[in-house]
Each structure stands twice: as C-alpha cells, then as structure tokens.
C-alpha cells in the first residue's frame, strides 16, 4: 500500500495530563449534559469498585474525583481493588474467577468485546439496558454520537453489559508519533526534516558521530523509546509504517481491535506475516545493531526513558511517543513552546508512507459494569450516567471546578473550533502537587468527550493548549492516513466465536511482540529465522485467527 502526499512540517506540543483533541464544525452546537435529578441520595450509600489502571504511578484510590462523587451524590465510592502494571487485566480476571463476593461495580476492565460477552453470558456482570432507559445522558449520547454509540456497546446476544466512555478523539486516531530535536536538525541537517527512512537513518548517524551536544563525549542517544508503559512510546509502530500498514502499538497504550490486522477491499490482512513487516524489522535491526536505536528501548520503563531525555547536557536526537517528550509551560523566545518537532510519517524504500490509523470506539476500555453481587444495580448505572455528565467529564479530566477549570460565559473567548468557548482550564494557576490528585487516569474515565464538547476548550493567547496542539499533529499525520475504513471494526460476535478469538489472540499477540523484539535486537535473524517464525504463528493458529476475523467482518454490515 503506497501513499505519497503533500509535505508539511509542524511543531506539535503537549501537556502530558491534557487529553485528546477532536474535530468538529465551528457552527455545531454544544449540548451540556446534566448531572441529573436523582442525586444526592437521601442517605449515604457505600459502593465498592475494582479497576484496571495501567498507570501504576497514578492511583485511582486517592483521588479528588471520589470526593466530588461523595459531595454530589452521597455515594461513598470505595476502590477495593486496583490492578496495575502490564498484567493488570490478567490480575482482574483471576480475581473475578476466584473471589466468592465481587464488588458492586467495575470501573475499567480493558476487556475486549469477546471477553465482555463471555463474562456477561456467564453471569459475572449484569445486562444494563433496562436501567439505561432512565439515564438522560446515555440517551443524549445516542443522539449526539449517532446510532454507532448504542451499536458499539451492544453485544451479539442483544445485551449491553458496559456503559462505555465517549472519547471522540481525532489525534488518538494517529497517535504513534515520532519527535526530533530541532536544534540538532538545524545543526546537522540544515533545518530540513528527514522525509525518508534513509534520510532518518542519516540523521541518527550524524547524532551518533558528530558530538552535537559538544561535550567531547560519545554520549548521544540517536533514537529512544520504551514499551513497558506510557503513551505510544513504542518506536516500532511509527517506523514500520514506512514499510507496511501496522496499527499495533506495544505497551500499555489502548490497542486497536484485532491489533496488527487491517482491512483492504473488505479482506482482513495480518501485517506481521507480510514481507513489508519483515523489511521493517530488517531496517530496525540495522538501527539497533549500529547503536542508533537505544539498546534499552525494549527493557527500560518510562521514568528511565524520561531521565535520559531530560539529561543535562542534552543527549537524545529522536523520541517515539504520543505526547511531547517534555512538560511545557513557558513559551520560548521565538514564541514556540519547545525545541522538539513532530516528525511527519517517513517514506520507505518502496514508496510506502503511512500513519498509524485507528477509529472512534465507544466501547473504549469496557468501562462501567455492574457485577452479579451489586446490591443496587439501578443506582450503580445512575452513577455511571452521573460521571458521563459534562461536569463529570471535566472533573475526571481536569479536577475541581473553580480551581482547575471554569465554565465560560459569552464573550470569554473562543474554543479550538473558533466558536464560543464552553470551558476554560486554569493552566496558569493549576497546582497538581496535592495530597490527592484531582483527576482520574484517562483510561478509567466514564466521560462524554464528544467532538463538539472537546472543541469547546478555550484557547488563551500565550497559554499552552494541549488539545489544540495535538489536533495540529493529527492534521499533519492525517495526510498519510490509510483511512478509518481500513480499521477492523469493534464488532460483537456470538459466544462460540468469542471464545475461539480469545484463545488465539493472546498467544499470537504475545509471540509477535516477543519475536519482534528478538528480530530487532539480533536474537533472531530476519534472514535465517523468518520461516520458523511464520511456522510458529501457524502452529499458534494465526491462519485460523485471520479466517475467524474475516467471518466476523463479513457478518458486520448486517449487524449495523
């Protein structure tokens, strides 16, 4: 698949805690979803919850969000199980299978639809549709987002087991980005950004050899990334899209459905068995062998990577990541916000030039479920609807009203869409160093970040607006997008097919990730071990997995 489009460069910046940007027409009205009339309850009610939180340094349990919930609803939400780290979902699933008494609700599970369907049919979680009828925000979202909202959350058996979360996020659809250090681009490349894989390698070689930090030591790190945690910090995804259509990101980043597979002419393809993937591995292994890709990129964690990026003197020439490689607060003398530049997708030797592509997903991380042991399912679902209010969305994203954000009134300013702003984040005075962090990790949200609301974020001259800058990044990458029609849809499938897909998916994903690292690091040879790699994938059921995905895709249009 080749894609050669117009050229553009841009400096794209971001505050790490600011979430995701979308697109919307300026004339589109913004509906404010209410917190509802059923709260506060007449008496205090305790509800227990388990949550999967892959950000193990950012706890849900000690958050101001629970204080806000208690104040507004009279519900004391107690997190009795918080599962963190790379195997967090596995920890949750084990507890579900072994505990006799479950909590009232599950805030975030990161289940696939196949897993959600199975747990629903087993009776571990309850159908919600009878309770959702009386949820005003749920019904509003069905109108705002269109029929895809309800369809995306309805399983093959006709039931809805999770409330979901609306995160209509333009820039997340192109989240696998690469950043280059502009002063070294100016110094080593005459200010010209590399546009091909060959030119990018040439830049990395210059970083390694020319001592650009001028300290007389060979301490420069040409390219760095990590796959343990963080947002799209996997260097493989960005670079491999110069060779093959790859929508898989290693690490804790939210994955596309059928990660590593894409749709072309209504046919499912698995990129990791294609010749293009092999050539991408050959290119990456060459970078690794020659010391241009940092050797610890596949073993270090986020803190270790950050320490190397922010070292003094400066050492790093390029960084993989969904967000900017540093926190930003003050503009530079030239009016820009940082010395890092978002690198557009590169063109490979065969002319392939693609950005990572995903699509909107209202199922999200499978957020907001009611367990079999909940004593009051109706109130639990009303709590989900309360969190999905516009106020709840801002509280989960930014914190306390009047301290971290405020509503806008006519004349206050413009939003990102140049229409009347809806809310303003108090970036200039926000203080996140509190006893309780005022927000929840983004993956845990039960929110309503639909396009129009997201674009109502007020733009302030001279104040960094991460939403706006991320949208610019998405515009840049969208020029090279293969298109949302190439994304395998988040289709709900019958129980028997769900079980089969689950049985193949985890083993295949795990083996592809392990083998990719081995090929790049030289533990496997791209020339000598490729056929064995393909044979092992077939033993794990890769061909049958692809056939089952095709079967699910063929049934999908009728479902919609």
Instruction: Give the confidence band of 464 by pLDDT, cuts at 50, 70, 90.
Output: confident
Per-residue pLDDT tens over the stretch 203-243: 999 999 999 999 999 999 999 999 988 889 999 999 999 99
Q: Which CATH class is domain 45-170+361-406+425-454?
A: alpha beta
Per-residue pLDDT tens over the stretch 301-317: 999 999 999 999 999 99
Query: Residues 6 or more apart from 161 whose CB is under 8 A from it?
Result: 116, 117, 119, 120, 125, 126, 127, 128, 155, 369
Q: Indicate if the alpha-carbon torsion angle 123, 129, 135, 139 is positive or negative.
A: positive
Residue 169 near residue 322 (C-beta atoms within 8 A)? no
Residue 497 near residue 112 (C-beta atoms within 8 A)? no
Is the predicted pLDDT of residue 179 greater than 80, yes or no? yes
Is the predicted pLDDT of residue 379 greater than 70, yes or no? yes
pLDDT at 406 (0 to 100): 96
Distance separating alpha carbons of residues 305 and 318, to the nearest angstrom: 12
pLDDT at 462 (0 to 100): 79
Q: Indicate if the alpha-carbon torsion angle 289, 293, 294, 300 is positive or negative.
A: negative
Per-residue pLDDT tens over the stretch 26-36: 334 689 999 97
Of 221 and 417, the one with more pLDDT: 221
Per-residue pLDDT tens over the stretch 438-452: 999 988 999 999 989
Distance separating alpha carbons of residues 178 and 342, to the nearest angstrom: 6
Residue with tokens 């979901």: 164
Is the predicted pLDDT of residue 18 greater than 70, yes or no? no
Vertex 140, ends 139 and 146: CA angle to 5°? 90
Domain boundaries, the chain: 45-170+361-406+425-454, 175-343, 492-559
Q: Please give the CATH number for the structural domain made up of 175-343.
A: 3.40.190.10
Task: Count CB-CB contacts under 10 A for residue 109.
Answer: 25
């Amino acid at each position: 698949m080749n894609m050669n489009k117009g050229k553009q460069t841009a400096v794209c910046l971001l505050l790490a805690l600011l979430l995701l940007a979308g697109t919307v027409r300026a004339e589109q009205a913004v509906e404010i979803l209410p917190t509802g009339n059923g709260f506060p309850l007449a008496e205090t009610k305790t509800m227990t919850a388990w949550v999967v939180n892959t950000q193990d340094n950012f706890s849900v349990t000690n958050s101001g969000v629970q204080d806000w919930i208690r104040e507004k609803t009279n519900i004391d939400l107690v997190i009795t199980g918080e599962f963190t780290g790379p195997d967090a979902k596995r920890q949750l699933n084990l507890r579900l299978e072994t505990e006799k008494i479950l909590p009232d609700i599950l805030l975030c599970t990161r289940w696939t639809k196949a897993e959600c369907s199975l747990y629903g049919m087993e009776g571990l979680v309850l159908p919600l549709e009878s309770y959702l009828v009386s949820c005003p925000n749920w019904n509003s979202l069905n109108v705002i987002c269109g029929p895809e909202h309800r369809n995306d959350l309805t399983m093959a058996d006709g039931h809805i087991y999770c409330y979901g979360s609306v995160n209509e996020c333009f820039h997340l659809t192109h989240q696998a980005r690469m950043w280059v250090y502009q002063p070294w681009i100016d110094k080593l490349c005459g200010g010209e950004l590399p546009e091909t894989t060959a030119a990018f390698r040439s830049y990395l070689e210059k970083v390694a050899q020319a001592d650009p930090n001028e300290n007389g030591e060979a301490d420069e790190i040409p390219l760095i990334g990590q796959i343990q945690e963080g947002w799209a910090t996997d260097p493989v995804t960005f670079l491999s899209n110069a060779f093959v259509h790859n929508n898989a990101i290693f690490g804790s980043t939210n994955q596309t459905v059928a990660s590593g597979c894409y749709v072309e002419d209504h046919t499912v393809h698995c990129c990791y068995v294609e010749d293009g993937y092999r050539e991408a591995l050959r290119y990456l292994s060459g970078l690794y062998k020659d010391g241009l890709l940092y050797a610890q990129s596949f073993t270090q964690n986020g803190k270790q990577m950050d320490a190397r990026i922010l070292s003094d003197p400066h050492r790093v020439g390029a960084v993989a990541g969904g967000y900017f490689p540093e926190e930003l607060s003050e503009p530079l003398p030239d009016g820009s916000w940082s010395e890092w530049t978002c690198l557009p997708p590169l063109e490979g030797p065969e002319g392939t030039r693609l950005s990572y592509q995903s699509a909107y997903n209202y199922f999200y991380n499978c957020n907001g479920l009611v367990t079999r042991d909940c004593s009051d399912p109706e109130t639990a679902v009303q709590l989900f609807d309360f969190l999905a209010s516009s106020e709840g969305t801002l509280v989960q994203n930014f914190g306390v009203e009047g301290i971290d954000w405020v509503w806008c009134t006519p004349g206050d300013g413009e939003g990102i869409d140049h229409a009347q702003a809806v809310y303003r984040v108090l970036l200039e005075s926000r203080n996140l160093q509190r006893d309780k962090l005022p927000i929840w990790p983004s993956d845990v949200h039960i929110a309503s970040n639909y396009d129009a609301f997201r674009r109502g974020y007020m733009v302030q001259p001279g104040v960094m607006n991460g939403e706006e800058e991320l949208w610019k990044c998405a515009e840049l990458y969208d020029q090279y997008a293969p298109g949302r029609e190439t994304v395998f849809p988040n289709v709900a499938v019958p129980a028997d097919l769900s079980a089969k897909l689950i049985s193949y998916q985890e083993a295949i994903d795990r083996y592809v990730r392990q083998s990719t690292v081995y090929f790049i690091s030289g533990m496997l040879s791209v020339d000598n071990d490729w056929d064995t790699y393909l044979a092992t994938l077939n033993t794990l059921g890769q061909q049958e997995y692809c056939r089952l995905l095709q079967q699910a895709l063929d049934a999908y249009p009728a479902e919609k």
